[in-house]
Structure 1
């Protein structure tokens, strides 16, 4: 989480990123959606998605599997 400090008074605050990604997530919500659409709609490989996101194959695969389960199976 990014921290900022006011040079005038020294007050420190953190940027709220909860809207962009889950806590401790390696990929943003938009990156997850892009990866899932790439695999399901565009028939990209996990390797291609990982390359596009700049992450390891395992990271992309785990994220896509979790997001696919959440979006395609868990949501009704």
Structure 2
């Protein structure tokens, strides 16, 4: 963070509020990249953490919070949805046949 000092003794710092939340460990752009990397590119949290240069827990907590904010907390995410379909899923293969999740 840049720090400036005037000849009069006044000191001020660069405004970073648009780049990151207060006390955040990652910038907004890094959070967006991490979320897209996991959701779209199917990267693991370990790879995302490595790419961001942070610990696994830091990346995981940040991605979960950003995902909640961007995806889950969006009240209008189902506005144009008419039908939600559920595919069958075999959860247990047995000799007598498969058991499906209901």
TM-score (norm 2): 0.68
Provide the rounded CA distance (Å) in 2 between the counterparts of 1:26 and 1:75.
Answer: 24
Following TM superposition, the consecutive aligned residue runs of length 4 or more in structure 1 with deviations greater than 2 angstroms are 8-11
Provide the rounded CA distance (Å) in 1 between the counterparts of 2:2 and 2:56.
Answer: 26
Whether 2:12 is the aligned partner of 1:3: answer no
Between the two structures, name the one with larger relative contact order (CA 8 Å, sep ≥ 6).
1
SS at match of 1:65: helix
Larger radius of gyration: 2
Counting strand residues as a fraction of each chain, which structure ranks higher?
A: 2
How much has 1:11 moved relative to structure 2?
Answer: 2.9
Provide the rounded CA distance (Å) in 1 between the counterparts of 2:71 and 2:57.
Answer: 20
Residue pairs, 1:45-64, within 5 angstroms: 45-64=44-63
How well do the aligned residues superpose, as a CA RMSD in angstroms? 1.3
Q: Which structure 1 segments of 5+ residues have no match?
A: none
Residue pairs, 1:3-42, within 5 angstroms: 3-6=3-6, 8-42=7-41
Counting helix residues as a fraction of each chain, which structure ranks higher?
A: 1
Whether 2:72 is the aligned partner of 1:66: answer no
TM-score (norm 1): 0.90
